[in-house]
C-alpha cells in the first residue's frame, strides 16, 4: 500500500509539472502537422516577414518533415514565397532553376548544394514539392542560399550562369579563375584583387542584377584574407544577404531554414573591448523588429546523423540518445507524448533547464575536444519551440558518379 501511495504521489508531481508547460498539439500522429491545428498560430504568422525555422541537430529526419509542412501552410495561407537556406547562393542556383521548371534532375541539382545536412531525401522532398507548387502557381516560390562558406560552388555556377544569358557575354572573358589552392594565402590575396576588379566591372555594367550572385564571393574573400574577422562574420553575412534579397522584393516573405543557433537571437559579449558575438537571428531581429520570429526545433530522445573526427579524418556516424534527461526542455514539455507540440517561450516556466545544440559535427572535433549535446536554455534566444519526443536519422542521398567529382562534398569542408 505504501508503494502505491508513493507511486501516485510521484506521478501527480510529474503530471503537475507537465501542466505548467502550456503547449499546443500540432499533429494527430507522428511528425505530420495538421493544418487545422496550425490555424491556432495564424496570429503569429500573419504579422511576420521572416520566420527562422531552426533544428537542434542537422541530422534529424523529422525536423525537415515538420518544417516542410509548416512552409506549405505558410505558402498556402500567409503568402510566404521564399525558402532561405543555410547554404551558398550560387550553390542553390541550380535548385532554384529546377523548381522554376528547368529540364533537370532534382537530385543532381540538390547535390550541388554540397553541404551534407541538406543532401537528404527529406530536403529533396522539399525541392520536389516546391517545383510542383510552382508549376501550378506561376512560379512564385524561390529557393535561395544566403551563406558564404564555400567558393567551389562559384567555380561551377558563375561560368555556367553567364553562359546561359547572352547579356553576360562580356563577363566570361573578364571573370577571374576561382579554381585555385585556397590554402595558399598569397594566392588568395592575389585572387581577391582580381575579383575586386571584376566586381567593379559587374556592378557598373549590371546594377540591377541580383546582388548575391557576386556578394557571397566577395564575402568569402573577406573571410579568407582578414585577420580581424571573428566567428560572427558568417552570421552577419547570412542576415545581410537575406535583408538584401528582401529589399528588392518589398512584399515578399520567407522562412530561414538553418540550425537553431543561427536563427536564434544570440548576442554575447565575451570581452568589454571586443564587439558582440551575434547570430544571424540577432541581426535580423535588430533590423526587422517584430517582423522576425525565431522558432527552434528540439527532440527528447532518439537518433540522428552527424560527423565525428576519428583517426585524422571526419566520418559520418549514427548517434543515439535513449536516456531521458529531466532537465531537458523537450522532456518537460513532452513527457511520454509522441505528438508534435508547439510552445511559446512566454508559456515556459522560469526554471533552469537545457536544450539540445548539435551541429554538423558531434562526438569529437578536429582539435580533439569533446563536443557536448546540451547548452543552457535562455528565454530571449527563441520566440517559440516545436518539440518532438523521438527523432530518427535523415536519409542521406547516395552520391552519383557526377556528384563524386564535386570535391567539396567532403566533411572536412563542412561547418557546424
Give the H/E segment covering residue 304: strand 292-310
d(CA 150, CA 407): 11
- Rounded CA separation 93/84 (Å): 12
Identify any residues that bridge with 316 across adjacent strands, giving them in sequence order.
307
At residue 161, the pLDDT reads: 96
pLDDT tens digits for range 29-45: 889 999 999 999 999 99
Q: Does residue 15 lie within any of the structural domains?
A: no
* Domain count for the chain: 1
Residue 2 lies in a domain: no
Q: What angle do CA 381, 382, 388 make, to 5 degrees?
A: 130
* Residue 3 is assigned to a structural domain of this protein: no
Cα distance between residue 338 and residue 393, in whole Å:
17
Residue 4 lies in a domain: no
Ranges in the chain, pLDDT < 70 = 1-20, 228-231, 269-276, 399-416
Residue 80 falls inside a structural domain: yes
DSSP letter (8 states) at residue 400: P
Asked if residues 145 and 113 have their Cβ atoms less than 8 Å apart, the reply is yes
Instruction: Give the residue carrying C-alpha cell 505504501.
Output: 2
| 8 assigned to some structural domain | no
Domain limits at 124? 21-413
Task: Note whether residue 1 is domain-resident.
Answer: no
Q: What is the pLDDT of residues 80-114, one digit of tens each?
A: 999 999 999 999 999 999 999 999 999 999 999 99
Q: How far apart are CA 57 and CA 76, in angstroms?
A: 27
Q: Is residue 62 part of a domain?
A: yes
302, 304, 284: which is closest to 293 by C-alpha?
284
Res 415: pLDDT = 33
Cα separation of the two ends of the chain: 53
Backbone region of residue 121 per phi and psi (left: phi > 0; alpha: psi in -120 to 50; beta: other values):
alpha
Distance CA 230, CA 97 (A): 34
Amino acid at each position: 500500500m505504501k508503494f502505491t501511495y508513493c507511486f501516485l504521489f510521484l506521478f501527480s508531481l510529474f503530471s503537475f509539472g507537465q501542466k505548467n508547460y502550456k503547449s499546443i498539439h500540432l499533429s494527430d500522429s507522428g511528425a505530420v502537422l495538421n493544418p487545422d491545428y496550425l490555424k491556432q498560430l495564424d496570429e503569429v504568422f500573419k504579422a511576420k516577414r521572416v520566420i527562422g525555422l531552426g533544428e537542434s541537430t542537422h541530422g534529424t529526419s523529422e525536423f525537415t518533415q515538420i518544417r516542410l509542412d509548416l512552409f506549405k501552410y505558410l505558402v498556402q495561407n500567409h503568402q510566404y514565397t521564399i525558402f532561405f537556406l543555410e547554404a551558398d547562393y550560387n550553390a542553390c542556383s541550380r535548385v532554384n532553376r529546377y523548381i522554376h521548371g528547368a529540364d533537370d534532375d532534382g537530385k543532381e541539382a540538390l547535390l550541388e548544394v554540397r553541404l551534407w545536412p541538406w543532401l537528404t531525401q527529406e530536403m529533396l522532398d522539399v525541392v520536389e514539392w516546391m517545383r510542383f507548387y510552382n508549376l501550378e502557381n506561376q512560379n512564385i516560390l524561390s529557393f535561395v542560399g544566403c551563406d558564404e562558406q564555400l567558393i567551389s560552388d562559384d567555380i561551377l555556377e558563375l561560368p555556367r550562369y553567364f553562359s546561359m544569358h547572352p547579356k553576360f557575354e562580356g563577363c566570361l572573358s573578364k571573370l577571374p579563375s576561382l579554381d585555385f589552392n585556397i590554402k595558399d594565402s598569397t594566392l588568395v590575396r592575389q585572387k581577391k584583387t582580381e575579383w575586386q576588379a571584376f566586381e567593379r566591372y559587374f556592378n557598373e555594367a549590371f546594377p540591377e542584377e541580383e546582388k548575391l550572385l557576386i556578394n557571397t564571393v566577395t564575402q568569402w574573400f573577406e573571410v579568407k584574407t582578414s585577420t580581424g574577422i571573428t566567428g560572427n562574420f558568417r552570421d552577419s553575412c547570412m542576415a545581410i544577404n537575406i535583408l538584401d534579397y528582401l529589399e528588392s522584393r518589398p512584399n515578399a516573405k520567407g522562412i530561414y531554414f538553418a540550425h537553431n543557433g543561427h536563427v536564434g537571437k544570440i548576442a554575447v559579449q565575451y570581452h568589454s573591448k571586443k564587439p558582440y558575438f551575434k547570430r544571424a537571428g540577432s541581426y535580423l531581429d535588430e533590423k526587422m523588429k517584430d517582423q522576425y520570429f525565431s522558432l527552434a526545433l528540439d527532440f527528447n530522445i532518439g537518433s540522428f546523423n552527424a560527423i565525428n573526427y576519428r583517426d585524422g579524418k571526419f566520418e559520418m556516424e549514427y548517434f543515439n540518445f535513449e536516456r531521458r534527461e529531466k532537465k531537458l526542455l523537450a522532456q518537460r514539455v513532452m513527457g511520454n507524448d509522441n505528438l508534435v507540440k508547439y510552445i511559446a517561450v512566454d508559456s515556459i516556466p522560469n526554471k533552469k533547464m537545457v536544450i539540445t545544440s548539435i551541429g554538423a559535427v558531434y562526438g569529437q572535433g578536429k582539435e580533439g575536444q569533446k563536443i557536448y549535446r546540451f547548452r543552457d536554455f535562455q528565454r530571449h534566444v527563441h520566440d517559440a519551440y516545436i518539440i518532438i519526443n523521438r527523432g530518427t536519422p535523415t536519409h542521406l542521398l547516395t552520391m552519383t558518379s557526377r556528384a563524386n567529382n564535386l570535391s567539396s562534398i567532403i566533411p572536412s569542408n563542412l561547418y557546424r
